[in-house]
Chain A
Amino acid sequence: MADASTLTAAAPDGVAATPLVDIAGVTFRYGETDGTLALSGLDLKVRKGEFAAVVGPSGCGKSSLMKLVTGLMPVTSGTLAVAGAPVRGPLKIVGMAFQNPTLLPWRDVLSNTMLPLEIVRPHRGQLRRKRAEYEAQARALLATVGLRGFEKRNPWMLSGGMQQRASLCRALIHQPELLMLDEPFAALDAFTREELWGVLQNLWMERRFTCILVTHDLREAAYLADVVHVMSARPGRIVATHTIDLPRPRTVESTFDPHFIDIVHGIRAEIAQARSEVPDEPTDLKGAA
């Protein structure tokens, strides 16, 4: 059981008041007017340095939301701003780990991890000169997620969980201001997942980047996040927001704390409600028109 005194510390420090990510009334539709309406009237604010989690039923548009924030796809309507500027194309300050590991099979783990350094300025200009230094950084990062000794392996020689760890390192290597994680631990076993929660929390506490984590796992959201946003069924929007006021560093022990369990129960009830709710707009418009 966690020590009661550790649970009384104040809200995370270093969190500024200005939102780094500011989403207001965003609607997103795949394809033309008869395409899938993935998001509808979504509002979300994430402050600088904050760890936000987004939870919601499967297919509600979480991955779509991540791609909108990183600028991989344009919003259909509404406003979406990151660091004060409207998002018009892929952003340069983000690191992203996708639902699949998406490592490049022709590169070994080390050079997969170092890929962002070949793209993102100012690193790309310095890579040739400071190769040894960057390589040491990448090796150190890989070691923190337990991939020491696997640097020269090709991705397909790694287990799925190891690939996800490498993918996490790739998202972090260029020290992005905003880290976007799309269910990075979904494919892992419970123990590895809990271990990586600790790893991610440590990295975050050390570097204090802003983070948006999409997950199915409510315990994961409550363990890692400062704020948990609950999404409705498709078309997705935020239906509730919870502040998790547990002190850090959190441990697997703290997930058995009654207060923690209460929070998770609260969120679960809302998701259950979101799943059963009829969406505002009929999703099948084809027949009606």
Chain B
Amino acid sequence: MTRKQWRRLETAMPWIVIIGALVVWELAVDLFDVRQFILPAPSDIVVALIQYREPIMASALFTLVNTLAGFGIGVVVGLFIGIVIGSSRLAYAGLYPILVGINSVPKAAVVPILVLWMGIGQPPAIITAFLLCFFPIAVNVATGLATTEPEMEDVLRSLGASKLDILWKVGIPRSLPYFFASLKVAITLAFVGAVISETIASNDGIGYLMLQAASQFRTPLMFAGVTVIAAMGIATYLIFVLVEKRFTGWATRKQDAVALGTGGG
């Protein structure tokens, strides 16, 4: 096998594994005659996807909107908290324990409180998504800022730069790789938050759809819901991988140096 073929096999590997798994699954369900409401075959799931495409699409859109709204708030708040605790030791000492506390509360336990305050549906879904996703962003940004090399700050301080200048020219660019890395984690968590809240308190969204399907033993529909939510999660994750590559090439010098050497750009 030549190097080139080897390389091609490497990129094809994930697809081979996925398709292989689906085939095994299909055959196993057939072979052992598993009943549909216990484990539907992939083909049943596809049928369900097509059959219920309209309610699925509507629910998925609802969930996506909630997730993105919560994620958006999470980015703004997480960035703000991260910058504050990353650039002030006092703020770090005061806020960090509280943040850890908030983060360790199971979010499913918070949803009823949110419902009490703002009713069911969209608002608690957005807030739950936000609560789940701001923490990794804040912690990563704070870590990026707090680990900035003092020498780099000295370069600016020796020019008479203000604290704001230093934050803007060194702190923030330096913590961008941490920030983008956290976005990948945060968007996934935001999906989790939105679906949890929809399962508990909503009349719409993938979470609600799943709950409905479960109560009627429409297992293929449940799996269709899972498939859609997974697809959305993977797609948004990939978007943030690309964003990260685009903005923080300097942080992964070696790979990038090679890429620049061969690709030119």
Contact = CB atoms under 8 A, between A and B. Distances in A.
Nearest to A157: B257
Given A118-B169, A154-B250, A156-B257, A72 B154 contact: yes
Contacts of A94: 158-159
Q: Name the interface size band of chain B.
A: 20 to 34
A120 B159 contact: yes
B159 A116 contact: yes
Is chain B's binding surface mostly helix, strand, loop or mixed?
helix
Contacts, number: 67
Of B154, B170, B174, most A-chain CB atoms within 10 Å: B154
B169 A156 contact: no
Interface string A74-111: 00000000000000011110101010101011100000
A118 B160 CA distance: 11
Interface in A162-221: 170, 174, 180
Interface string A40-64: 0000000000000000000000000
A89 B169 CA distance: 20
Contacts of A71: 158
B157 A105 contact: no
A198 B245 CA distance: 42
Q: Name the interface size band of chain A.
A: 20 to 34
Is chain A's binding surface mostly helix, strand, loop or mixed?
loop
B65 interface: no
B157 A90 contact: yes
Contact of B160 (A105, A120, A154): A120
A92 B151 contact: no
B151 to A, nearest CB: 5
Interface in B152-179: 152, 154-161, 165, 169-170, 173-174, 176
Given A92-B160, A119-B156, A156-B257, A98 B151 contact: yes
Contact of A119 (B154, B159, B248, B253): B159
Interface in B165-196: 165, 169-170, 173-174, 176
B198 to A, nearest CB: 40
A119 to B, nearest CB: 4
Contacts of B157: 72, 90
Contacts of B152: 102, 104
Contact of B173 (A100, A102, A106, A154): A106
Of B151, B161, B169, most A-chain CB atoms within 10 Å: B161
A98 B155 contact: yes
Given A90-B157, A115-B159, A118-B169, 15 more contacts: A72-B157, A72-B158, A92-B159, A98-B151, A98-B154, A102-B154, A104-B173, A115-B155, A116-B159, A119-B159, A119-B160, A120-B159, A154-B250, A154-B253, A157-B260
20 contacts: A67-B154, A71-B158, A72-B157, A72-B158, A90-B160, A91-B160, A92-B160, A94-B159, A98-B151, A98-B155, A104-B155, A104-B170, A105-B250, A105-B251, A105-B253, A106-B173, A106-B174, A106-B248, A119-B156, A119-B161
